[in-house]
């Protein structure tokens, strides 16, 4: 029999207080010592935020509206930075709730929150004026609402069940409206409510599942309808054609002669970038102005035309497309860390620390992949004792990895940031269960 590992016998409130104070102090220090990071994408989101403020009739639909609306409501970069740090604190508390609700232990809540708030990859990205922190917040809200539904010891009034289902669905839909690759989330959460809630009556289970899925899909549908009405495009972005070029552009030589001008122009830019950087990914953004001149099409019309060309190429050459998708999928697991480089004597130590962190995260990703594949074995499933919220976390990671690879080939590692905490939680859970670790307190 394994001897329990001692933990300080704190109440759940005690653990919560430690987590909340620690996370708050951590972010206060970060705010005082570390400046927000701006990227090329930041400029695009700021431009769209200006369009939101000017009225939706001006919105060009080039990106999902979640983050532009967020920026439009907050104003200055400093305000956005402070609010994203506050969201980071809330995310920490949400993961505490999930861990506590799953196990009934305050220390488990602390460990769940530590997987987020003690991971520099996650905390430093709160300083980036990018979509990651807002996406993680909506993802954590949806997971927490699902956990509240599934892990309550006894029945609750139907209105409370439906209220939590609305919250789970709305948060899932808002995650999709912030990052396109989470468009699957409302349906996935609804699915796990149906199949993973056996203690609930069938009618309650289906009511909660349909409410979750329909609320999330309704939010997405409103935006899809806006894109269709405004630009005559069925999709989530007016730039779908440009995004598809990162896959189809790799075999753009097969474009028929009727589009020879577009074909030759793009290939010239792609090959020039390939020679300079070793990769032709995202060459489309430099090629757009000349491709507009060659075709005589405006920005949105060119995107629509390229979308049609790319769809045809993918259907005619599925093997080449799947090869590109597989490369994007592998890139997803490379565990990026966004950080501001220090100068002077600390630069080397900082680089070494970031390299070590990435090594740990990539090892966790490898263990996650092997472990989830190993779930085909009943003995491993029995040993791990996974419950429905944990299965949903694993399914969300897998779905995100596949969705982003199918949609994009370029900055694929960045797309893993919103789900990295889920990977660490599942790996930590698996190590504890397999090693048979037990804790006091």
> What pLDDT digit, counting tens, does each position of 149-187 carry?
998 777 788 999 999 999 999 999 999 999 999 999 999
What is the Cα–Cα distance from 418 to 112, expressed in whole angstroms? 15
Residues 352 and 429 both lie in one domain: yes
Q: Which residues contact 280 (CB under 8 A, 6 or more apart)?
A: 249, 250, 270, 271, 273, 274
**Taking CA 205 as the corner, what is the angle to CA 104 and CA 149, rounded to the nearest 5 degrees?**
25
| Residue 125 in domain | no
Q: Are 68 and 52 in contact, with CB atoms under 8 Å apart?
A: yes
Least confident of 70-84, 163-177, 213-227, 269-283: 269-283
Q: What is the pLDDT of residue 200?
A: 83
Please check whether residues 248 and 289 belong to one and the same domain. yes
The two three-digit tokens of residue 196, written as one number = 């993973």
Q: Are 420 and 361 in contact (CB under 8 A)?
A: yes
Report phi then psi at 128, rounded to 5.
-85, 130
For range 411-416, the mean pLDDT: 89
Q: Are residues 385 and 431 in the same domain?
A: yes
Residue 100 placed within a domain: no
Per-residue pLDDT at 358: 93
- Measured distance CA(333)–CA(355) in Å, rounded: 15
pLDDT band at residue 411 using 50, 70 and 90 as cut-offs: confident
Q: Structure tokens of 401?
A: 């990895």
pLDDT for 8: 53
366 and 305 share one domain: no
Is the Cβ–Cβ distance between 341 and 354 less than 8 Å? Answer: no
Residue 135 lies in a domain: no
Give the pLDDT score at 351: 84
CA–CA gap between residue 375 and residue 269 (Å, rounded): 45
* pLDDT of 287 above 90: yes
pLDDT in tens, 1-42: 455 555 557 889 999 999 999 999 999 999 999 999 998 899
Q: What is the pLDDT of residues 305-354, one digit of tens each?
A: 999 999 999 999 999 999 999 999 999 999 999 887 766 666 778 888 88
**157 phi-psi bin (left φ>0, alpha ψ -120 to 50, beta other):** beta
Report the alpha-carbon distance of residue 174 to residue 183 in Å, rounded: 9
Instruction: Examine the pLDDT at 221 and tell me if it is beyond 90.
Output: yes
Query: What letter would DSSP give residue 376?
Result: G
| SS3 of residue 439 by DSSP | strand
pLDDT for the residue numbered 373: 93
The neighbouring-strand residues paired with 37 are: 128
Quote the pLDDT of residue 416: 94
Q: Chain-wide mean pLDDT for the chain?
A: 92
Q: Note whether residue 249 is domain-resident.
A: yes
User: What integer pLDDT is reported at residue 4 of this predicted model?
Assistant: 55
Confidence of residue 121 (pLDDT cuts 50, 70, 90): very high
For residue 6, the model assigns a pLDDT of: 55
Quick check: is 215 in a domain? no
Selected residue with higher pLDDT from 349 and 43: 43
332 in any annotated domain: no
Q: Which residue has the higher pLDDT, 150 or 281?
A: 150
- Does residue 18 belong to any structural domain of this protein? no
Residue 370 has pLDDT above 70, yes or no: yes
* CA–CA gap between residue 369 and residue 382 (Å, rounded): 18
Q: Name the domain boundary from 274, 295, 316.
A: 316
User: Cα(91)–Cα(148) distance, rounded to whole angstroms?
Assistant: 15
Q: Are residues 384 and 311 in the same domain?
A: no
Q: Minimal CA–CA distance to 45: which of 73, 85, 21, 18? A: 73
Where among 300, 316, 332 does a domain terminate?
316
How high is the pLDDT of residue 437? 58
What integer pLDDT is reported at residue 338 of this predicted model?
Answer: 85
Reference 188, options 382, 398, 377; nearest CA is: 398
- CB burial readout 333-351, b (16+ within 10 A) else e: bebbbbbeeeeeeeeeeee
Fill in the DSSP letter of residue 2.
P
Whether residues 297 and 373 share a domain: the answer is: no
pLDDT, mean of residues 187-216: 94
Domain limits for position 406: 348-441
Give SS3 for 333: coil
408 part of a folded domain: yes
Distance between CA 315 and CA 276 in Å, rounded? 30
> Which pLDDT does position 234 carry in this prediction?
86
Residue 267: exposure state from Cβ atoms within 10 A (0-12, 13-18, ≥19): middle
| Same-domain status, 294 and 356 | no
17-21, 55-59, 208-212: least confident range: 55-59
366 lies in the same domain as 427: yes
Pair (308, 265) in one structural domain:
yes
Same domain, 303 and 363: no
Tally of domains within the chain? 2
Least confident stretch, 81-85, 140-144, 413-417: 413-417
pLDDT for position 232: 87
């Amino acid at each position: 029999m394994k001897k329990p590992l001692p933990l300080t016998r704190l109440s759940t409130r005690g653990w919560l207080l430690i987590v909340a104070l620690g996370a708050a102090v951590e972010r206060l220090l970060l705010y005082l010592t570390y400046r927000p990071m701006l990227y090329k994408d930041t400029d695009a989101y700021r431009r769209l935020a200006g369009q939101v403020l000017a009225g939706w009739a001006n919105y060009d639909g080039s990106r999902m509206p979640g983050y532009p609306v967020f920026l439009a409501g907050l104003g200055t970069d400093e305000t956005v930075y402070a609010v994203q740090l506050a969201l980071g604190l809330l995310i920490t508390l949400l993961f505490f709730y999930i861990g506590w609700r799953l196990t009934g232990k305050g220390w488990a809540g602390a460990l769940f929150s530590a997987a987020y708030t003690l991971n520099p990859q996650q905390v430093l990205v709160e300083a980036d004026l990018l979509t990651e922190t807002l996406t993680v917040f909506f993802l954590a809200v949806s997971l927490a609402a699902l956990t509240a539904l599934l892990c309550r010891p006894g029945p609750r009034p139907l209105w409370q069940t439906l209220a939590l289902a609305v919250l789970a669905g709305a948060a899932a839909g808002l995650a999709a409206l912030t990052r396109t690759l989470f468009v699957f989330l409302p349906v996935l959460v609804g699915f796990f409510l149906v199949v993973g809630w056996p203690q609930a009556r069938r009618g309650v289970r289906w009511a909660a599942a349909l409410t979750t899925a329909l609320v999330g899909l309704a939010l997405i549908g409103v935006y899809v309808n806006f894109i269709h009405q405004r630009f005559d495009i069925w999709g989530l972005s007016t730039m779908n054609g440009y995004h598809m070029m990162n896959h189809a552009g790799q075999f753009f030589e097969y474009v028929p002669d009727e589009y020879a001008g577009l074909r030759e122009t793009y290939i010239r830019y792609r090959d020039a970038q390939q020679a300079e950087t070793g990769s032709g990914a995202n060459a489309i953004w430099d090629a757009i102005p000349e491709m507009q001149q060659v075709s005589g099409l405006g920005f949105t019309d060119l995107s629509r035309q390229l979308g049609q060309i790319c769809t045809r190429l993918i259907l005619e050459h599925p093997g080449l497309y799947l090869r590109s998708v597989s490369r994007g999928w592998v890139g997803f697991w490379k565990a990026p860390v966004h950080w501001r480089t220090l100068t002077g004597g600390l630069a080397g130590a900082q680089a070494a620390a970031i390299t070590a962190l990435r090594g740990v995260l990539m090892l966790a990703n490898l263990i996650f992949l092997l472990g989830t594949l190993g779930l085909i074995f009943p003995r491993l499933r029995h040993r791990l004792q996974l419950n429905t919220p944990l299965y949903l976390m694993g399914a969300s990671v897998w779905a995100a990895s596949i969705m982003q690879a199918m949609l994009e080939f370029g900055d694929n590692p960045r797309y893993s940031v919103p789900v990295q905490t889920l990977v660490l939680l599942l790996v930590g859970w698996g190590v504890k269960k397999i090693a048979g670790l037990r804790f006091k307190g």
